[in-house]
Structure 1
Amino acid sequence: MSFTRRDLLKTTAGLGAASMAPSLLGGRPAFAEDLKYTPEEGAKLRLLRWSPFVKGDEEQWLANTKKFTEATGVEVRVDKESWEDIRPKAAVAANVGSGPDLMMVWFDDPHQYPDKLLDVTDLANYLGGKYGGWYDGPKDYASKGNQFIGIPTATIGNAIVYRESWVKAAGWSQFPTKTDDFLELCKAMQKSGHPVGFTHGHGVGDGNNYAHWLLWSHGGQMVDKDGNCTINSPETMKAIEYAQALYKTFIPGTEGWLDVNNNRAFLAGELSIIANGISAYYTPKNDPAQAELAADIRTTNLPIGPVGKSIELYQVTSTVIFKYTKYPNAAREYLRFMFEAEQMNQWIEKSAGYCCQTLKSYAENPVWKADPNNAPYAKASETLRPNGYAGPLGYASAAVMADYVLVDMFAEAVTGAASPKDAIEKAEKRINRYYRV
């Protein structure tokens, strides 16, 4: 290989630049293992996140944020919004060009406005290299090709949460693992006076998780690998027929539920079985007045359908930095700090199984073995199936989810607002509006 004087000059110039002070390199030193951003003078940040369902999650996030401020002098204001309000507020901020510096957003939302988000590839590669790499699902939600447009922050697992004594009283010594048996259990629970309930409303987490499980467990999919709509299929029809049968065992009103409703109904003793994060167990576990309820709660993964294997969506949240921020280095440094082991391990542990790690090294966190009820949530980041399967993630997949197309299809069919055939055809038209753009 020839090596010219010009090549030598280029190389030495590059080495000279790499040895400059961090402030001359956008606040970043040369070596990834020493990655640290120098916040801008007078920097102040605002983070908007979703409202917590687990007290320990919020408390530890705020405690870690306080440590960051003490270490850097950068004040960080942390605001929160309901889960359903995060998506529209993020879209408005991105398109208007003002609002919080950082936001915790859902699923593939970053793909709706990638040009409005700060490139955080260096930071993501540093964290991935240091902590065992990113799980593929969360990584795909926060990246386009090799470019990261967000930092995968957590996967909020979804599992069956049930009252063990009521299930046994209905004649089931073991919780069923197959969808056909599960339907029979739900019928038995209804007859015993302890009905079940799954979210058919616009719940960002519970509504989407349930709808996708129904579809995927029966072999259906929204689009193929090329993005062609495949929702109008025999598999989708079977998923709807199964959903209709299950719906007959439900407590009334689930078509209007948001993410908070099934938690409340379950904790009030109105329901025997729901699909939820660990929060439905965490709340009574940490309330002495509900100790008896907590002792009766068990969790397990959702039943396996005709497809023959466990397939779950789960809920992924990524933290994005908007390009309009006045303090990009401070924002990057805040995320770096929050993802380092001393802070991240504490957050995962205090979240009590609610926030599953997105970096592989944190799978060793002791929280996953601290309580048997945590186990169904431990591998959420590892096993999830991304939204928009089997097509690519992008604007179309994010927009279809934001429009609740699958959720509405099932809700219309089970409530009788539309026939199964009409509900599928309507969903097909709505999907094509986005995928044919």
Structure 2
Amino acid sequence: MQHITRRATLALGAASLATGAQAQGVPRAEIPPPAQPIEQGAALRVIRPARFIDADETIFRENAARFSERYNVPVRVDFVGWEDIRPQTAVIANTGSGPDVVIGWADDPHVYVDKLHDLSELADYLGRRYGGWSFLARKYGMQHNSTKWIGIPFGGGTGPICYRASALREAGFDKLPEDHAGFLRLCQALKRINKPAGFALGNAVGDGNGFANWLLWSHGASLTDEEGTISINSRETLAALNYLRELYPTFAPGTLSWLDPSNNRAYASQEVHLTANGVSLYYALKNDPRTKPIADDTEHAPLPRGVSAGPPQSATVLNAMVFRHVRYPNAAKEFIRFMMEAEQYDPWLTGSLGYWSQPLEAYRQSAVWTSDPKLTLFREAMNHQYWSGYKGPITQASGAVAADYVLVQMCSSVASGQATPEAAAREAERRARRYYRA
């Protein structure tokens, strides 16, 4: 928690002053921003998910302080635990009070669509200025079957395979297999040499949902069909869950209770040598002298395709929304615009090593993506062709299924032996129908 005022801005010093120079390689169109005068006496409170990378929070706060300095608007920024921000957003929506800007998760604006300000003018400006919006930004930012923007995606973190190259070689592999059978053989070999894999099967917003979705999508399964009809109880889902019964015994102990920080810790402590993770893990390893040798031995690869035509992964998306009850909506929108402009956004993107990959196409030209070849893969995070609720529309129902960990718990019940694949798929179908009928 921090209040950012004019005085705090001055204390930030050179780090804030240097931000503009770092953004000069990002192309942009010279067009005027939306005319939305900030309300007299405005003050803002912002909440967003907690950082996994120190620079994410440090530079975000510096940028918020720059906004305060420029517009004389005090800003308070609160960083909230990943598993806590959705419950807090629900309270804000139901009570009609609270922060002016909520930067929540991908689906969240679709859960509260009737309680949000229309952000279309702002989205149009940013899209025209910075080369257009990425695939997932459009998916999550726009209301289904509408041109109305209900959220402004700040970026997305994707979780490809993160592995120790030396462990792969020791296990007899020179690259990561893309097929299910080959990936299973690799994980079995890693287990035999006591350098196992591990994937989150607990209620983890990013890693738990990411693993469950990969498992399903790589087998051709989906929560719904293109029309939004529940399709989870299918032969493709059963194939995925039966595969999980073979794969899970190769995992390190404890993955059933893993939350988002868990596999970071396990990989850094060499309890696992292969997992799925965003840039945060590599960033932490690279910037700590004690773990830099692990970073040097770490490589990234897309999640195994299985039967999918492309990488069967999506992104954990930060999505900003402004509730109708806020006192200073123009100030809130102007804050979002300011934070997305190149002078603020590119230093944030670069300083975090691309942890929250860009939603606007112009930022593909950011120097961060050529600064380290191990980062380049993450540039594509927001253009993956899978999303929460795939294959159907993103709606209040798809958001609720993700928030309730329906697919994660389907997988964990099979991995733990508490349910057969058939029973788990039926239960997931029953739970999903509750939300889709509401």
In structure 1, what is the equivalent of residue 280 of structure 2? 279
Q: Deviations for 1:285-305, whole angstroms, at most 9, x for unmatched residues?
A: 011222212211111111110
Q: Does 1:333 align with 2:334?
A: yes
Q: Deviations for 1:347-378, whole angstroms, at most 9, x for unmatched residues?
A: 11111021100011111111111112112211
One-letter code aligned to 1:101: D
Q: Does 1:41 align with 2:40?
A: yes
Q: Does 1:91 align with 2:67?
A: no
Q: Distance in 2 between matches of 1:76 and 1:326?
A: 14
Q: Distance in 1 between matches of 2:31 and 2:293?
A: 50
SS of residue paired to 1:373? coil
In structure 2, what is the equivalent of residue 107 of structure 1? 106
Q: Distance in 1 between matches of 2:55 and 2:268?
A: 19
8 Å Cα contact 2:268/2:291 also seen in 1: no
Compute the displacement of 1:313 (Å): 2.2
**How many residue pairs are counted as aligned between the two chains?**
407
8 Å Cα contact 2:47/2:102 also seen in 1: yes
Q: Distance in 1 between matches of 2:422 and 2:33?
A: 58
The 5 A counterparts of 1:131-142 are 131-142=130-141
* CA-atom RMSD in angstroms: 1.3
Compute the displacement of 1:36 (Å): 4.6
In structure 2, what is the equivalent of residue 62 of structure 1? 61
Q: Does 1:183 align with 2:184?
A: yes
Q: Distance in 1 between matches of 2:35 and 2:386?
A: 33
The 5 A counterparts of 1:356-375 are 356-375=357-376
In structure 2, what is the equivalent of residue 406 of structure 1? 407
Q: Does 1:122 align with 2:95?
A: no
In structure 2, what is the equivalent of residue 291 of structure 1? 292
In structure 1, what is the equivalent of residue 16 of structure 2? none
8 Å Cα contact 1:224/1:389 also seen in 2: yes
In structure 2, what is the equivalent of residue 74 of structure 1? 73
Q: Distance in 2 between matches of 1:60 and 1:136?
A: 26
Q: Distance in 2 between matches of 1:357 and 1:159?
A: 16
One-letter code aligned to 2:40: E
Q: Deviations for 1:48-105, whole angstroms, at most 9, x for unmatched residues?
A: 0101111111111111111111111111111011111111111110111111111111
Compute the displacement of 1:312 (Å): 0.9
Q: Distance in 1 between matches of 2:191 and 2:178?
A: 19
One-letter code aligned to 2:43: K
8 Å Cα contact 1:337/1:343 also seen in 2: yes
One-letter code aligned to 1:140: K
In structure 2, what is the equivalent of residue 348 of structure 1? 349
8 Å Cα contact 1:200/1:257 also seen in 2: yes
Q: What TM-score, normalized by structure 1, do the two folds share?
A: 0.91
In structure 1, what is the equivalent of residue 15 of structure 2? none
Compute the displacement of 1:243 (Å): 1.2
One-letter code aligned to 1:119: D
8 Å Cα contact 2:135/2:384 also seen in 1: no
Gaps of 5+ in 1: 1-30
Compute the displacement of 1:178 (Å): 2.3
Q: Distance in 1 between matches of 2:431 and 2:71?
A: 48
Q: Distance in 1 between matches of 2:386 and 2:220?
A: 13
Q: Distance in 1 between matches of 2:284 and 2:33?
A: 40
One-letter code aligned to 1:400: V
8 Å Cα contact 2:33/2:125 also seen in 1: no
8 Å Cα contact 2:315/2:384 also seen in 1: no
Q: Distance in 1 between matches of 2:269 and 2:344?
A: 35
In structure 2, what is the equivalent of residue 393 of structure 1? 394
Q: What TM-score, normalized by structure 2, do the two folds share?
A: 0.91
One-letter code aligned to 2:68: T
Compute the displacement of 1:32 (Å): 6.2
SS of residue paired to 1:348? helix
One-letter code aligned to 2:120: T
Compute the displacement of 1:131 (Å): 0.8
Q: Distance in 2 between matches of 1:370 and 1:261?
A: 28
One-letter code aligned to 1:77: R
In structure 2, what is the equivalent of residue 379 of structure 1? 380
Question: Share of identical aligned residues, percent?
Answer: 43
8 Å Cα contact 1:95/1:116 also seen in 2: no
Q: Distance in 2 between matches of 1:68 and 1:57?
A: 17
One-letter code aligned to 1:339: M
SS of residue paired to 1:84? coil
8 Å Cα contact 1:338/1:344 also seen in 2: yes
One-letter code aligned to 2:301: T
Compute the displacement of 1:171 (Å): 1.4
8 Å Cα contact 1:69/1:75 also seen in 2: yes
